[in-house]
Amino acid sequence: MTRRTRSTSPPAERVAGHFGLGSVIGVRRITEGLMNPNWQLSTTSGVYAIKQLRDADPPAGRRQQSVLPLLAAQGLPVPEVIGDQVGGHFYLVAPWMPGIHRTGSSLSPDACRALGDLVGRIHRGLAAILPEPPVVTDEPRTVHDAGAELERFGRAASAGRDDFDRAAAADIGERLRLLDEVGHPRPADEPDLRPVGWTHGDLNDLNLLFEGDEVSGVLDWDRLGVRAYGLEVVRTATLMFDVGDLGRIAAFAAGYRGRFPIGDGALRDAAHRRWWDLVTETWILRLHYDRGDPGCDHILPRSAALRRWWTGHRDEFDEALE
């Protein structure tokens, strides 16, 4: 998930000189909610996207350098990045890609289907160039552990006075009641999730560029890693499309399954695990109350709205995936 960060401009001349980009003409900060500081850098040789890697380690950046050119060679719309340490920070540089960000609600059914097809092509492409994935396990949070942490943050929210505190207190109260009512459907511990493979890890509207209805760029590969394929499908659907937009979700899932076959059971299991994450996760609360970082506060209302709707429509959501 993405969030805003505070940052000043990069040492533009030093970055441009290090990567051989030419003389700097202008620098523009990209202000959309991103985990890492990003800029558009204009030089005498062209226009570039510059990222200062803070939310991932340098090996994640270097992995992109080796993987993305191979995906681009398969015809996938990905940037080809280079990265290195400059002045004590790790920077990634890529040519500026054309296109605009679009929300899922603005896409036609055909465009939703094409997006699903693209995710399937990405999964196939990664499987062709990366090693056999390791076994992936999952131990969902228990009702006891989730409840204890939610209660801790509930005390912090009750002691606060601002709008976020009030929203957090209401959200925590809802989730504690939900755990009391439906705690029994916790997903089972799984020592070997399948099918799994290499995935992008954070497909959402801020990491996709469109020209018309066609995806022109898939950005931000910092979370490239091995996961259940179904989890990426379900997570992308819930991030891209409005709460309850089952028609677009169905078109997206159909596009994916037409390119990358996956069984109904795997998608239902992934949906169950993702729903449970929404019931039990506390990462936004940890950022706000433990780290004093309000950068993801704006995500809490949408997450709460999705959980409320999904809790009452789990069968309909599963049917849309199938």
Q: Tens of pLDDT along 189-208?
A: 999 999 999 999 999 999 99
pLDDT for the residue numbered 11? 85
Mean pLDDT along residues 26-48: 88
Please state which of the ranges 54-58, 74-78, 215-219 shows the lowest mean pLDDT: 54-58
Q: Please state which CATH number belongs to domain 104-138+184-321.
A: 3.90.1200
Q: How confident is the model at residue 35 (pLDDT cuts 50, 70, 90)?
A: confident
Mean pLDDT along residues 35-47: 92
The vertex-126 CA angle with 36 and 47, nearest 5°, equals 45
Concatenating the DSSP letter of every residue in 136-186 gives --B-PPPHHHHHHHHHHHHHHHHH--SHHHHHHHHHHHHHHHHHHHH-TTP
The second-level CATH assignment, the architecture, of 12-95 is 2-Layer Sandwich (3.30)
CATH 3.90.1200 maps onto the chain at: 104-138+184-321
The vertex-40 CA angle with 36 and 42, nearest 5°, equals 150
Helices (H), ranges, the chain: 12-19, 58-73, 109-129, 143-159, 163-182, 229-240, 246-259, 264-280, 283-285, 299-312, 314-321
pLDDT for the residue numbered 9? 61
How much is the pTM? 0.93
Tens of pLDDT, residues 140-159: 999 999 999 999 999 999 99
Structure tokens at 35: 């985990």
CATH 3.30.200.20 maps onto the chain at: 12-95
- Inform me whether the pLDDT recorded for 25 exceeds 60: yes
The continuous run of DSSP H or E covering 26 comes out as strand 24-29
Concatenating the DSSP letter of every residue in 298-320 gives THHHHHHHHHHHHHH-HHHHHHH
Residues 226-261, buried b or exposed e (16+ Cβ, 10 A)? bbbbbbbbbbbbbbbbeeebeebbbbbbbbbbebbe
pLDDT for the residue numbered 33? 56
pLDDT for the residue numbered 227? 97
Q: How confident is the model at residue 230 (pLDDT cuts 50, 70, 90)?
A: very high
Instruction: For residue 204, give the DSSP letter.
Output: S
pLDDT for the residue numbered 4? 39
**Separation of alpha carbons 322 and 318, rounded Å:** 7
Query: CB within 8 A of 43, min separation 6: which ones?
Result: 16, 21, 22, 23, 24, 25
Mean pLDDT along residues 42-62: 91
pLDDT for the residue numbered 34? 55
- Inform me whether the pLDDT recorded for 272 exceeds 60: yes
Q: Which residue has the higher pLDDT, 84 or 9?
A: 84
Of all residues in the chain, the percent with pLDDT exceeding 70 is 97
**Separation of alpha carbons 180 and 207, rounded Å:** 37
Q: Can you name the residues that pair with 34 across neighbouring β-strands? A: none
- Inform me whether the pLDDT recorded for 237 exceeds 80: yes
Q: Which single residue is written with the structure tokens 């309909």?
A: 316
pLDDT for the residue numbered 269? 97
Q: What is the CA radius of gyration of the chain?
A: 20
pLDDT for the residue numbered 111? 98
Tens of pLDDT, residues 90-140: 999 999 999 999 999 999 999 999 999 999 999 999 999 999 999 999 999
pLDDT for the residue numbered 2? 37
Contact 52, 85 (CB under 8 A): no
